[in-house]
Structure 1
């Protein structure tokens, strides 16, 4: 059974009080007895000295006379007188009086017959009195059976100046012992009374000490359970109050520190969540302990089941796991480029990404490696962009080289004598003009594409599509009429978007020109624009040759042509649709395409509606 500190304090308090009173009572009883005995001894010594002085002649008369050949039992008159004087002295001193000869024979006694008493030569007080001037002894009486205080003084002869006997006075110590016993009983009663009086006081003080201590114990339990708002509800100016205040201050500091740590943790988690780079932590055994969302997305991790497992089991990627192991073994940073194919793990559809990973060791204050930090970058788009730049440079060089080579060839033809043939000269000059126009269009499209990719000014204003469509149709009307194409429009006046008139005209013209170029003679074109919820939807449809499904995802790429031969015949550069896509994106719009080979193509543009 657990005993609370309150009862322990009370028991200790009562024990100390009781022990102190008991010890004090015992000391007082002992000291009182000693004082009484000392007082009795002084009194008996004085009385015995007076008797010895008064009875010197009697003792000399009782001494044996060898010359007269008398024994101690002679001189009956002297013995009777000794008995009378002994009893008289006892009445005056209220003590037992004994006259003893120098040889230890009892000459007279106030309470017993001297003839029946044993020789007292061996008694300590007698021997001390004969050997010096005083003999004191405390012991039970052999005759009466209870304790006496014996005080013996020598009787000095008048002529010989040597002891001629001993006067001994004795008082029983029973009265003293009764008095001391009374004091002891009074002390015991006092102890009990004080204990009874001390109980409420002890309860008060034990409660005053135990309540704050119990509150402090409860506080430590609350703090251990995570409740940092707990407080000790105790105020006092003593040490306990200071301790309670100190604990409350410590709890407050812990609360503030914990709040700061939580805020730092939230900030850390927010930063991790917002990072585009993947971050992972692995312990010294290679078990995954942390991964942010970007890392989970790159590696196809299921965070709930991945944390705490070996990295190889969580990621199913051998190359990255080996890099992590090398970092753990060498204690040095390890960098690796790995192709992550999540389809091989059986989690998602086939998604192949290129990941650049850097694993770096982390050490504690003792320079012991405790974890590995991994930073992952998805460099797929960067590599694709680099590849696209290489393709762009190659395609641009090729596209520029072709008309340049043609112009060079035709110039060489003229220099070789072709200028002397009027018909040949005319045909060559027309070809030079055509190639020059093609080169000019290519350079213009390249400049336009560079400008839109670099970012156009975004000073957007409301543009009515009705007027913009009319303007674009006028620009391609001659070419459409030459092919016998019919043009149909359905543009609502409410079709107003936020853009620039020049950008809208370039988008519409490129798409309409593209439709005219790829629509056979006798075909038709239709353009419409109408509000739809918060957008404006523009559709441009033709009855041209169409685009096969395998080409549709790439038609907005630079220099991509479905039919390269036909594109060159129509003067296309392969940049028009790429420019269109960037211009529409500048206005926060989207473009989509649907096509059926042999039936035609439809481009659908969705612009935010001007409000």
Structure 2
């Protein structure tokens, strides 16, 4: 700017000297005319550059800055540098804004930006999923008109947002989300949402687990405690009384022991690494053992048979597989009426191997099948507890199956029976080893 003023002052002095020169040599009129012509030329020069400037200001870009002469060259170069600097700053700000937007888009939590009137300014995809919002239609609308739960309205009107609010949503699907409002920028707010459905489910399972364990232990402890109290009140205890009470106390003790053992087994399966494939499991011996156990549990009340369709062994943990298969067999015996059929089978299905237990028992209604592997889940609690089960057997089966990269298939019809199948992938198949002659 200083250079422009200096040049302008120089030109004015030059015009003045031209007028004075003509005045001195040709007279005052000629001097004034000469000065006026020079001044008009100088003004025309500036008007031309002003016209160039006005034309450029209609579409100001750094690439279209006009060329100038004299002081105007300095002005236009200054404009060019200023435009380039502003464009670079704009690009930097745009890049920073894009990175923030991309970060917001990629966040695993939902983010909604609200203005001072609680109108939506921006939503990220996770917030759209959590709160069933649509960026195209809902931006600019008040959040209270889109989320109508009374608890949310009360939360938004509250002056304190230090604690999150838990919402139970059913649309577009069942969700449990935690939302929290975070004021920022003096007038705006961030509404943050997080899907805590899995956490709530875990907490529910934990509460149910504690309640179920307490319930399962309470009955045998009450029975044993009652027997002990009765015996302690008796001055003399004869052998007949002991023979009556002790077997029932031992039965309740075995029930508690079985429950504790199953809980320990579940804990070990959940907290140890997946079953390794280093151990070859002799399925022939395993099937023979399971048959002996099934006949022992049945005590001649059922028709138990074994169908062997292949001689393949398995890579895995013999202890874990025996626990899982044994639970399937004992369930079949417990829930099959006297005179029913129980079939154990080991066969190849294409490239897969399948162990299954089929019975002609009471069957299971379809709606209960998806939940059978939950801890302590029982279709008929009274009948299940009366049959001596802990409610943990199929939960153990589920974990063993998962640790062997296998799949549990359950098919059942009420009053017709059930088939529980454990299907192994080809990589678990092992070639049988030659047996000594005395074991052949």
8 Å CA contact retained: 1:465, 1:529: no
Alpha-carbon distance, 1:528 to partner: 4.2
Aligned residue among 288, 294, 297 for 1:479? 297
Q: Deviations over 1:299-338 (max 9, x none)?
A: 33334322221213322334313422x14xx4x4275745
Aligned partner of 2:273 in structure 1 is 457
- Asked if 2 retains the 8 angstrom alpha-carbon contact of 1:528 and 1:540, the reply is no
After superposition, the Cα gap between the structure-2 partners of 1:214 and 1:32, relative to the gap in structure 1 and judged at 3 Å, is closer
Q: Does the 8 Å contact 1:551/1:562 carry over to 2?
A: yes
Change (3 A) 1:267 1:382: closer
Partner of 1:603, secondary structure, is strand
1:323–1:334 CA contact under 8 A, matched in 2: no
How far residue 591 of structure 1 moved from its aligned partner, in angstroms, is: 3.3
Aligned pairs for 1:181-330 within 5 A: 220-221=60-61, 239=74, 244=80, 247-248=83-84, 250-271=86-107, 274-275=108-109, 278-324=110-156, 326-327=157-158, 330=159
**Deviation (angstroms), 1:457:** 1.9
2:179 corresponds to: 357
Relative to structure 1, the CA distance from residue 33 to residue 389 in structure 2 (aligned partners, 3 Å threshold; closer, same or farther) is: closer
CA gap 1:376/1:320 in 2 versus in 1, 3 angstroms: same
**In the TM superposition, what is the alpha-carbon distance from 1:387 to its structure 2 partner?**
4.1
Residues 1:517 and 2:297 are matched in the alignment? no
- Flag the 1:318–1:426 CA change in 2: closer, same or farther, 3 A: closer
* SS of residue paired to 2:146: helix
Counterparts in 2 of 1:299 and 1:489: CA distance versus 1, 3 Å? farther
| 2:161 paired residue number | 333
Counterpart contact for 2:112–2:120, Cα < 8 Å: yes
Q: Deviations over 1:197-255 (max 9, x none)?
A: x9xxx9xxx99x999x8998699448xxxxxxx79899xxx846576456445534543
| Residues 417/513 of structure 1: CA separation in 2 closer, same or farther (3 Å cut) | farther
* 1:440 positional shift: 1.2
Note the alpha carbon deviations across 1:355-383, whole angstroms, 9 max, x for none: 44322322x3xxx4x22222334555544
Describe the shift of the 1:608–1:291 C-alpha distance in structure 2 as closer, same or farther (beyond 3 A): farther
Q: Give the total of aligned pairs.
A: 406
1-side partners of 2:395 and 2:291: how far apart?
21
DSSP 3-state at the match of 2:400: helix
By how many angstroms is 1:444 displaced? 0.6
Q: CA RMSD in A?
A: 4.7
The alignment partner of 1:267 has SS state of helix
Q: CA deviation at 1:394?
A: 3.0
1:31 aligns with 2:31: no
What is the alpha-carbon distance in structure 1 between the residues aligned to residue 276 and residue 126 of structure 2?
Answer: 35
Partner SS state of residue 402, structure 1: helix
The runs of 5 or more residues in structure 2 that have no matched partner are 1-7, 68-72, 429-440
Match of 2:264 in 1: 447
2:223 to 406, 409, 428: 406
| Secondary structure, aligned partner of 1:551 | helix
Name the CA shift for 1:256/1:564 in 2 (closer, same or farther; >3 Å). Answer: closer
Match of 1:435 among 252, 258, 277: 252
Match of 1:560 in 2: 377
Cα gap change, 1:31 to 1:395, in 2 (>3 Å): closer
Structure 1 length-normalised TM: 0.54
Deviation at 1:33, TM superposition (A): 5.4
Measure, in 1, the Cα distance between the counterparts of 2:99 and 2:426. 42
Contact 2:118 2:143 in 1 (8 A): yes
Q: Which has the larger Rg?
A: 1
SS of the equivalent of 2:427 reads coil
1:575 aligns to 2:392 (yes or no): yes
Residue 4 of structure 2 aligns with which residue? none
When the two structures are superposed, what TM-score results if normalisation uses the length of structure 2?
Answer: 0.72
Return the offset for 1:523.
Answer: 0.9
Q: Compare relative contact order (CA 8 Å, sep 6+) and give the higher one, 1 or 2.
A: 2
